[in-house]
Amino acid sequence: MDTIAVTRHGKIRGRIQDGVAAFLGVPYAAPPFGARRFLAPQPVTPWDGVRDCLSFGATAPKRPYRPPLDEILPDPDVAGDDCLNVNVWTPSPAPGLSLPVMVWIHGGSLRNGSNTIPLYDGAAFARDGVVLVSVNYRLGVEGFGVFPDAPDNRGLLDQLEALRWVRDNIAAFGGDPGNVTVFGESAGAICIAALLTSPHARGLFHRAAMQSGPPHTVSRKEGAKIVKVMARALGVPPRAAAFADVDPSSLLDAQVTATSKGNPITGGPGFHIVTDGDVVVPDGALPADVDLLVGANREEYRLWLVPTGAVHRISPLVLRLAMLKFRIPWRAAGLYRSSRPGAPPGEILGEIATDMLLRGPINRLADSHRGRSFVYEFAWRSPERDLGACHALEIGFVFDNLAAARELTGPEAPQPLADTMHRAWIAFASGGDPGWPAWDASRPVMVFDAPESGIVHAPRDEELKAWI
């Protein structure tokens, strides 16, 4: 059955199925191409009549993940220019209900992902009384390339514009604009960390959940490096005007080549959020009135090192060189080895990198936040492809959407664990309390596992303190 909602830009048609109304591909900004390319997001042109929002909108320009990650992380591509769009799932499109709102910002290293990925279907949230919004934003060089003749952090500007759309329109879908929680994973969580300190985001959301992505920004000089690499390959100046004249397919080819030699564990060229002094300010303080839910998966590294076989190619020498590069004390490696007898060097390096890139920064974030922080760890190990408790594995559980997560979880993932996590995220979005103690000097961490989840205080802190 179809249904109509009235937004500030015009009427839109969605579809009700099993008691959930879905409005897909709703534009929140004008297409960022042609004269608008490499600019801040521009306003939507209002329309007459009723606009059909019955299928997913266009995705931002991107290429699939490199094999074998393309099999594990499907990344649909929908053609079209109108890629600055949101999807909305709601138990009722009627205004006046004031339901909690959750806004999902997807991950993908700032160059992959979209709101069309089946894993991010918001029907289970709407079924349980939440209005779920998922956001598309510009990726790669279009969204995060640093140029002297274009605004920085354009993908982040897109997210801010989407949040303004939520503020101005979500009441038409039964949502409460005064009770908005942003949540995201990996690069999506890193974006949220930047939004938390941005003066432009004040009042646009009230709680934040960051999954496997701590605060991380770089200088404009550092952020511009990948643009210069691409410019040399393309034979053009490192300016937005020059890049706008390059065929989009060639631009994506150059982007893939420039980013092909690294990953979040081993490093390498990539796209970053930069400290621009406007949207992202240096040393911005976290707002004390925004509650945080933050955490990571126990074996994050396995997504990047295991499917490719890299975990088995890391020798003791490579491990030693990596420790020198990252200035990790030798006694730290000794602690990791002693607690994992028989583990190969690749796994030791992966465990250290997970703590250095995620667990350590997440703990420091919780320590520094003047408001309430709730910390979790996802520990259930997937048997699929020997992925273990890898990066992105928790998403299907949070969304209560295990059917769409089988490439990561395998066919027999524990539904009770999905029930537990999904309820916790809804409880946090509804009232700010996911169901376990807030972070304090005892460092309580909710460890999500099967068959049981529970609180562990200061897990593996001895290792963490050895090199922090």
Per the CB < 8 A criterion, the answer to whether 456 and 447 are in contact is yes
DSSP-derived letter for residue 263 is B
Question: What b-and-e string marks burial along 83-108, b requiring 16 or more CB atoms within 10 Å of the CB?
Answer: bbbbbbbbbbbeeebebbbbbbbbbb
DSSP 118-146: GGG--HHHHHTT-EEEEE----HHHHH--
Task: Give the per-residue pLDDT at 467.
Answer: 65
Backbone phi, psi, residue 136, to 5°: -95, 145
Residue 256 structure tokens: 């893939």
Task: Give the per-residue pLDDT at 266.
Answer: 64
Q: What is the CA radius of gyration of the chain?
A: 22
Instruction: Exactly one of 109, 186, 212, 382 is catalytic; name it.
Output: 186
Cβ partners under 8 Å of residue 464, min gap 6: 355, 359, 360, 363
Task: Give the per-residue pLDDT at 468.
Answer: 60
Which residues of the chain have a pLDDT value below 50? none
Q: Which residue is associated with the tokens 């309580």?
A: 444
Domains and CATH numbers, the chain: 1-215+272-284 (3.40.50.1820)
d(CA 374, CA 190): 17
Task: Give the per-residue pLDDT at 319.
Answer: 86
d(CA 96, CA 450): 39
pTM above 0.95, yes or no: yes
Residue 261: CB atoms within 10 A of its CB come to 10
Residue 276: CB atoms within 10 A of its CB come to 18
Pairing mode of beta strands 20-27, 131-135:
unpaired
Cis peptide before 437 (omega within 30 of 0): no
Q: Is 411 exposed, middle or buried (0-12, 13-18, 19+ CB in 10 A)?
A: exposed
Residue 351: CB atoms within 10 A of its CB come to 24
Q: Is 186 labeled as catalytic in the residue annotation?
A: yes
d(CA 458, CA 17): 44
DSSP-derived letter for residue 218 is B
Instruction: Exactly one of 142, 299, 300, 351 is catalytic; name it.
Output: 300
Longest Cα separation, the chain: 68
Cβ partners under 8 Å of residue 239, min gap 6: 147, 148, 149
DSSP-derived letter for residue 36 is G
Q: What is the signed CA dihedral for 76, 81, 83, 88, rounded to 10 degrees?
A: -90
Residues β-bridged to residue 374: 293
Residue 336 structure tokens: 């990791």
What residue type is 187 in one-letter code?
Answer: A
d(CA 464, CA 361): 10
Q: Is 391 labeled as catalytic in the residue annotation?
A: yes
d(CA 21, CA 132): 11
DSSP 439-465: P-TT-EEEEE-SS--EEEESTTHHHHH
d(CA 146, CA 131): 34
What residue type is 410 in one-letter code?
Answer: G
Instruction: Exactly one of 106, 206, 272, 391 is catalytic; name it.
Output: 391
d(CA 424, CA 402): 16
Q: Is 9 labeled as catalytic in the residue annotation?
A: no
What residue type is 115 in one-letter code?
Answer: N
Residue 411 structure tokens: 């066919």
Short-list 140, 141, 180, 132, CA closest to 160 = 180
d(CA 212, CA 201): 21
From residue 97, how far is each of 120, 127, 162, 203, 376 by CA, in Å?
24, 15, 21, 20, 31
